[in-house]
Chain A
Amino acid sequence: MGIVITVTSGKGGVGKSTTLANLAVGMADEGKKVVAVDFDIGLRNLDMLLGLENRIVYNVIDVMEGKCNLTQALINDKHSKNLYFLPASQTSDKNVLNKEKVKTLLDTLKKEFDIILLDSPAGIEGGFEHAVAFADRALIISTPDVSSVRDADRVIGIIDAKSEKAKAGEEVLKHVIINRIKPELVERGDMLNTEDVLNILALPLIGVVPDCEKVISSTNLGEPIIRDKNVQSGEAYRRISKRILGEDVEYLDLSIKKGFFKRIFS
C-alpha cells in the first residue's frame, strides 16, 4: 500500500514543483515506484519540469470523471521506468475537484505505487484542501525569507484542520525543506539560517537545498537537476529522497571555507 506525500508551501514561487520533480526522480532511482500528480488544477507546470509536456493526452480530471482510465493518463518518464506522471487539467474551473473523487483516485494509485507525490497549488484555497485532505505526509517548502516563512507557518496550521487523517486522530507527518539558501548571505548575517527557520516553524527538517543557478538551465531543459551528479543542489535532493524513505543521511556541508584574513576582516 503506497503512501501519499503532499508537497506544499504557503507562498508561490518558492520551488515547490521543482522540489517535487527532483524528489520524484530521486525516490524512483532508489527503486520505489513513484507517481507525481500535478494537483495545481488550471496551472499546469510539473510536466515541463519533468520534460514530459509533449506526451500529455489525458489529465487527472479526465481520470476522475471517468473520461479515460488511469493507465491511459499515466505518462512513464523517459529515463526512470519507475516514475510516472499524472498531469493537471487546464480548466479554469477550480470546482472540478471533489473530495470523493480525489479519494477514489488516490486509493487506486495507492494500490499501484509505493509513493504518490501530490503537487499542491500555492495558497490555502480549494485546490490546496484537496491536496492535503488525504495526505499521509507533508513536505513544506520554504525559502529563508520572511514572507515565505510566514506563509509556510500559516499552511502548517491549516494542514491538520483539513486532513482526514488528523480528523481520525492520526498525525500527518510534517517536515520542512528549506530551499534556495545562500550560505554566503547566511554567513554575513543577511539571511535567516536553518536554525532560525526551524525554530520559528517548530517542525523537523528533512533537507536544505542551496541556491543554484544551474536549476534554471535544468528547468529550461526539462531535466531535473538531481540527475546532474556534479551539482550540490542535486546532491541535496538525492539525500532528501533517501531521508524520506527512512534512511539516516548526513546533511550537506554548506559552510563557506574562508581564508584567515577574510575571516578576521569580513
Chain B
Amino acid sequence: MSLLTNLFGKKSSSANVARDRLKLVLAHERASNALPYMEDMKAEIMEVIKKYTQVKDIHISSQNNQNIDVLEMEIILK
C-alpha cells in the first residue's frame, strides 16, 4: 500500500475482493464437503436400524465449535 492510500483510507483492492469471495465460498463448501464418508455412513446406519424398527429417514448434521466436532443424528421412524 502506498502512503497516500494509507493516509486517505484503503480503496477496495481486487485482492481484498478475492479474499472475501474465497472466504465466503469456502465456508459454504467446507460445510457441505466436510465429511466425505457421510453418505456411506448414513446408508449403513439405516441398515442397522432397519433390523430393529422401521425407519423413514436419517438426517445427520455436523457442527464444529472451537475444537469440538459434533455429529447430530436425527432418525425419523415410520
A190 touches B30 (CB 8 A): no
Contacts of B21 in A (CB 8 A): 146
Residues of A within 8 A of B23 (CB): 200
C-alpha spacing A188/B2, complex, angstroms: 8
In the complex, B29 has a CB within 8 A of chain A: yes
- Among B21-63, those with CB < 8 Å from A are 21-23, 25-26, 29-30, 33-34, 36-37
Q: How large is the interface on A (under 10, 10 to 19, 20 to 34, 35 or more residues)?
A: 20 to 34
Chain B interface size, as a band, is 20 to 34
In the complex, are the beta carbons of A146 and B37 less than 8 A apart?
no
Q: How many whole Å from A11's CB to the nearest CB in chain B? A: 13
Q: A153 touching B3 by the CB < 8 A rule?
A: no
Quick check: is A191 within 8 A (CB to CB) of the other chain?
yes
Tell me if B15 is interfacial: C-beta within 8 Å of chain A: yes
Residue B64 is within 8 A (CB to CB) of chain A in the complex: no
Within 8 A of B (CB), among A144-199: 145-146, 149-150, 153-154, 157-158, 161, 186-193, 196
Residues of A within 8 A of B18 (CB): 145-146, 192, 196
In whole Å, how far is B66's beta carbon from the nearest beta carbon of chain A? Answer: 14
- Could you say which residues of chain A place their CB within 8 Å of the CB of B4? 264-265
Given A153-B26, A188-B13, A200-B22: 13 more A-B contacts, CB < 8 Å: A146-B22, A149-B22, A150-B25, A154-B33, A158-B36, A161-B37, A187-B1, A189-B11, A192-B15, A192-B19, A196-B19, A264-B3, A266-B2
